[in-house]
Structure 1
């Protein structure tokens, strides 16, 4: 009897945990400063975490920014990001946690590591390494029950029959969804030359000076990119290379000429 009781308890516990997955969440909140750092967005880790979560498909906000009403009214609709550091003399070790509003861990990454000596590079590489665990987890947001019910009871306005429109009257054009906003493109000056590295490439100009660092992803012709002041992605579209990143809250794209 004790064995059956124990088995029942384990199954109930596992079922409760399995239901609390990242697929239940559309939003993620990133802190302005991680607890192990001394300054807000030090080494641009918070910016990097936000960019990588958005690349995964989440809608991400900084926790100190103005939040949408849906999150402001109920913080339990969003996951919270926490990054832990394990102290070591010879390497940087970071672990990514995604927690719910009750501080329960919904996702825990592997321990990302880097042995680079420069702090900025080492912390960035360690966090990217930790995020590879999240890349391996499928994510597709599943709306909650309330949202599903709302969708079911919403009734579209009736369309008048064709015969009700006089022959001499011209039918009004059908309203189409607004097109996505056009991203301004800046043409970068000069050709950049790609030099292979352990994790991707570094792009240098004719000076020579390093302009961009590219990190490989699982997607062909798409790299995580860092130019020292901004983090984003470098990708190939219609045979052309572009560096896309956020500047002052707006998406910016630079057209690049790269020789591999």
Structure 2
């Protein structure tokens, strides 16, 4: 009976390790905070710097919170995990664990409690953190892009561009047809029902183009950000400033708004993946 139980336990631990590795391999970055809650100062005892160093040592691309993020992370914040160090109370030991959360603040991995009996705080925290990171080392992390998410983002952007181009082409075709009929009407001044239908169709297409390309949102400054209102006026989004210029978090939604070139985009997550939409914002 003991042998069967031990075999089951070993199998479970191996399976859990493989599952955790597969999950973490899908994330490209890990963000390290500038300060841990159980300490009074930023990077006290150089613990945050050590965290970043250890993540990089074991294959991760580690970024400090608030620094200039890569373009792909700005566009899709779910490429990164957020790290934290948690202190567990102990009478004669310093004990720390490392926790990783995804972009929705769901915990995806937690290490064991690393321990140290050192009395000096600097040595104790460093030793306990290194001990906790043995679980990170055991993962043998290697980034593997989630192709389905990348593909869905590309398809969404392509579909939007195709829709705009198609509407433009329909409008130009209708204008050309109207010009031909106007020229014909100069010789034979007859107003046909077909002409009226063409004019009506053109108005519909123009309205659709305006809806896609010229729906203006006006930015009104509020505390820590802006509210975006339409011409009604109705509040469409409330956005919060970040450390990055031209990058905002959308309040109450799993989305960001950022500027790409001269274009404002909103990017949000759905069950089908990441999607984008062009916005016309006036600040």
| TM-score normalised by length of structure 1 | 0.49
Structure with the higher fraction of residues in strand conformation: 1
Q: Which has the larger radius of gyration?
A: 2
More helix by share: 2
Structure having greater relative contact order (Cα 8 Å, sep ≥ 6): 2
